[in-house]
Amino acid sequence: MTLEDFWTLIHQSTAENIGQDQRTEWLTARLAHRPVAEIIEFELHLTAQRKRVDTRHMWGAAWNIFQGWCSDDSFWYFQPWLIGLGHDTFERVAAHPDALADTHEVRRLAGRHRSQWTDEEWPEWESMNYIALNAYARATRQEEGLDDALEARGLYRIYDAFPEDERWDYDDIEQRRAKLPRLTDLLGEHHPAT
């Protein structure tokens, strides 16, 4: 599976389905019918794309979108959500996290407290983390098969965000304005009350 094939599957899952649960099932089913090597390659492409957005700059963007709160797990689930936005959008936001201010998915959250967001609006896609794992299990009937196959190649699935770029204070409005001016303008300096 090439990187282009990976992005084609992500795009097709959007065209074929409405919500994340349906997209997850669609992707899992499609992968389960492909050669095992392609399932492994899907996981490797997912990991490589995640690494591109596993930055403190992006974590600051997520923190701002999540209205002053973004745990390690939330940021971990935010990363596949970014991939789920599609290749073109992903490329823009990976290069410039502030470009999230231009996405429909973030703009529709502006001015509303996160307690008012629907499950489908939440900027997270946790179940994408398990697509290749579940597809591999379906295809081979081996529950831990993907992890074993990766380990045989000297590779491991990643389970946590681990940005290595410079830390900054997401609460500091001046830093936020300097790093994420459009997101800060869109979402405000003070997040909406419940």
Q: Which residues contact 187 (CB under 8 A, 6 or more apart)?
A: 64, 65, 67, 101, 109, 110
Report the pLDDT value the prediction gives residue 127, as an integer from 0 to 100: 97
Report the pLDDT value the prediction gives residue 159, as an integer from 0 to 100: 85
User: Which pLDDT tens digits describe the chain residue by residue (194 residues)?
Assistant: 999 999 999 999 988 777 899 999 999 999 999 999 999 999 999 999 999 999 999 999 999 999 988 999 999 999 999 999 999 999 999 999 999 999 999 999 999 999 999 999 999 999 999 999 999 999 999 888 999 999 999 888 888 899 999 999 999 999 999 999 999 999 987 665 44
CB burial of 63-72 (b: ≥16 within 10 Å; e: otherwise) equals bbbbbeebee
Widest distance between CA atoms in the chain = 53
- CA 157 from chain center: how many Å? 15
Query: pTM value?
Result: 0.94
Report the pLDDT value the prediction gives residue 194, as an integer from 0 to 100: 42
